[in-house]
Structure 1
Amino acid sequence: MILILIKIILCSSLLIALYYAFLEKEKMYQFNRFFLISALIFSCLAPLISIKTESPKPTGNSRIFFENATQQVLDLSQKEENFNWINFMWIIYGLVTFIFLLKALNSILIIKRIKGKKILYHNHQVIVTKDQLSPFTFWKTIYLSENYLVDNTIDSRVFLHEKSHLEQKHSVDLLFIEFLKVIMWCNPAFYFFKKAIITNHEFLADEAVLKNDFNIKEYQELILDEIISGQNYNLTHTFNFNNTKKRFIMMNRKKSKLTGFKKVISIPMLIVAFGLFVQKIYANDPKPNHESIIQKTEPEKTQQPTAFQQIVGDTKELLENKMVNNTNDEKMIADTIRPKSKSSSQETTLPKQEIATADTENIINPVYPGGMNQLRSKVANTFDGSKLGSSKATLRTDIEYVINEEGTVEHLMVTGDNEIFNNEAKAAFIKANEGIKWQPATKDGVAVRYTLRLPLTMTFH
Structure 2
Amino acid sequence: MITYLLKSAILLLVFYAVYKLLLENEKMFRFNRVYLIGSLIFSLVIPLQLFSVKAMFETGINTIQLDEIVIQTNRTSLDENYIMQNLFVIVSGVYIMASTVLAFRLALNLISFFIKLKTKESRLVNGVKVVLMKETVLPHSFWNTIFVNKADFESGKIPSELIAHEKAHLEQKHTLDILFAEVLRIVFWVNPFISYFIKAIKLNHEFLADEAVNKQFGEISNYQNLLLDFASNRQTVPLASTINYQITKKRLLMMTKKESALKIVFKVFIVGLVCSLLLFTFSSKVTAQKVDPFANKVYKSGDLKIKQPEFPGGIIEFYKFVGQRFKVSAEASKNNVETKISMQFMVEKDGSLSEFKIVKDAGYGLGEEAIRVLKLSPKWIPGSENGKPVRVLYSLPITIQAAPK
Instruction: Kindly indicate whether the alpha-carbon contact (under 8 Å) linking 1:116 and 1:128 is maintained by their aligned counterparts in 2.
Output: yes
Letter in 2 for 1:167: E
Aligned mate of 1:208, from 206, 209, 212: 212
Distance (whole Å) between structure 1 residues aligned to residue 190 and residue 113 of structure 2: 26
Distance (whole Å) between structure 2 residues aligned to residue 243 and residue 210 of structure 1: 16
Q: Secondary structure at the match of 1:149?
A: helix
Aligned mate of 2:275, from 247, 250, 270: 270
Distance (whole Å) between structure 2 residues aligned to residue 388 and residue 164 of structure 1: 60
Q: Secondary structure at the match of 1:87?
A: helix
**How well do the aligned residues superpose, as a CA RMSD in angstroms?**
4.2
In structure 2, relative to structure 1, the CA distance for the partners of 1:387 and 1:124 (3 Å cut) is farther
1:85-115 CA distance string (max 9 Å, x none): 2332122111111111122222223333445
Q: Secondary structure at the match of 1:242?
A: coil
Instruction: Kindly indicate whether the alpha-carbon contact (under 8 Å) linking 1:199 and 1:243 is maintained by their aligned counterparts in 2.
Output: no
Give 1:244 shift.
2.4
Distance (whole Å) between structure 1 residues aligned to residue 182 and residue 281 of structure 2: 26
User: Which residue of 1 is the match for residue 263 of structure 2?
Assistant: 258
User: Which residue of 1 is the match for residue 288 of structure 2?
Assistant: 281
Tell me which structure has the larger Cα radius of gyration. Answer: 1
Q: How does 1:282-321 map to 2 (within 5 A)?
A: none
Give 1:247 shift.
1.1
In structure 2, relative to structure 1, the CA distance for the partners of 1:254 and 1:424 (3 Å cut) is same
Distance (whole Å) between structure 2 residues aligned to residue 19 and residue 116 of structure 1: 40
TM (norm. structure 2) is 0.65
1:405-450 CA distance string (max 9 Å, x none): xxxxxxxxxxxxxxxx9961659xxxxxxxxxxxxxxxxxxxxxxx
User: Which residue of 1 is the match for residue 225 of structure 2?
Assistant: 221
Give 1:179 shift.
0.8
Structure 2, unpaired ranges of 5+: 62-70, 290-300, 313-332, 338-346, 362-366, 374-392, 400-405
Give 1:117 shift.
1.1
Give 1:243 shift.
3.5
In structure 2, relative to structure 1, the CA distance for the partners of 1:123 and 1:152 (3 Å cut) is farther
Distance (whole Å) between structure 1 residues aligned to residue 178 and residue 255 of structure 2: 23
Give 1:124 shift.
1.0
User: Which residue of 2 is the match for residue 3 of structure 1?
Assistant: 3
Aligned mate of 1:110, from 102, 112, 119: 112
Give 1:217 shift.
1.9
User: Which residue of 2 is the match for residue 125 of structure 1?
Assistant: 129
Instruction: Kindly indicate whether the alpha-carbon contact (under 8 Å) linking 1:107 and 1:233 is maintained by their aligned counterparts in 2.
Output: no
Distance (whole Å) between structure 2 residues aligned to residue 28 and residue 145 of structure 1: 33
Q: How does 1:151-170 map to 2 (within 5 A)?
A: 155-170=159-174
User: Which residue of 1 is the match for residue 149 of structure 2?
Assistant: 145
Is 2:94 aligned against 1:92?
yes
Q: Secondary structure at the match of 1:132?
A: coil
Instruction: Kindly indicate whether the alpha-carbon contact (under 8 Å) linking 1:51 and 1:281 is maintained by their aligned counterparts in 2.
Output: no
Distance (whole Å) between structure 2 residues aligned to residue 217 and residue 44 of structure 1: 41
TM (norm. structure 1) is 0.58
Instruction: Kindly indicate whether the alpha-carbon contact (under 8 Å) linking 2:228 and 2:247 is maintained by their aligned counterparts in 1.
Output: no
In structure 2, relative to structure 1, the CA distance for the partners of 1:397 and 1:285 (3 Å cut) is farther
1:168-199 CA distance string (max 9 Å, x none): 00000001111111111111111111111111
Q: Secondary structure at the match of 1:424?
A: strand
Give 1:249 shift.
0.9
User: Which residue of 1 is the match for residue 34 of structure 2?
Assistant: 34
In structure 2, relative to structure 1, the CA distance for the partners of 1:89 and 1:220 (3 Å cut) is same
Give 1:264 shift.
2.6
Structure 1, unpaired ranges of 5+: 59-69, 293-344, 350-376, 400-420, 428-461
Letter in 1 for 2:282: F
Q: How does 1:36-115 map to 2 (within 5 A)?
A: 36-49=36-49, 50-51=51-52, 56=59, 81-84=82-85, 85-114=87-116, 115=119
1:39-72 CA distance string (max 9 Å, x none): 11111111012427689578xxxxxxxxxxx999
Distance (whole Å) between structure 1 residues aligned to residue 211 and residue 45 of structure 2: 32
User: Which residue of 1 is the match for residue 396 of structure 2?
Assistant: 424
Give 1:158 shift.
1.0
Distance (whole Å) between structure 1 residues aligned to residue 52 and residue 357 of structure 2: 18
Q: How does 1:336-351 map to 2 (within 5 A)?
A: none
Instruction: Kindly indicate whether the alpha-carbon contact (under 8 Å) linking 1:119 and 1:125 is maintained by their aligned counterparts in 2.
Output: yes
Percentage of pairs with the same residue: 29
Distance (whole Å) between structure 1 residues aligned to residue 183 and residue 4 of structure 2: 18
Instruction: Kindly indicate whether the alpha-carbon contact (under 8 Å) linking 2:9 and 2:193 is maintained by their aligned counterparts in 1.
Output: yes
Greater CA deviation, 90-99 or 195-204?
Answer: 90-99
Q: Secondary structure at the match of 1:396?
A: helix
User: Which residue of 2 is the match for residue 408 of structure 1?
Assistant: none
Distance (whole Å) between structure 1 residues aligned to residue 138 and residue 128 of structure 2: 18
Q: Secondary structure at the match of 2:249?
A: helix
In structure 2, relative to structure 1, the CA distance for the partners of 1:73 and 1:272 (3 Å cut) is closer
Instruction: Kindly indicate whether the alpha-carbon contact (under 8 Å) linking 1:11 and 1:277 is maintained by their aligned counterparts in 2.
Output: no
Letter in 2 for 1:33: R
Give 1:74 shift.
9.6
Aligned mate of 1:396, from 345, 367, 370: 370
Letter in 2 for 1:172: L
In structure 2, relative to structure 1, the CA distance for the partners of 1:134 and 1:276 (3 Å cut) is same
In structure 2, relative to structure 1, the CA distance for the partners of 1:397 and 1:208 (3 Å cut) is same
Distance (whole Å) between structure 2 residues aligned to residue 139 and residue 384 of structure 1: 63
Letter in 2 for 1:14: V
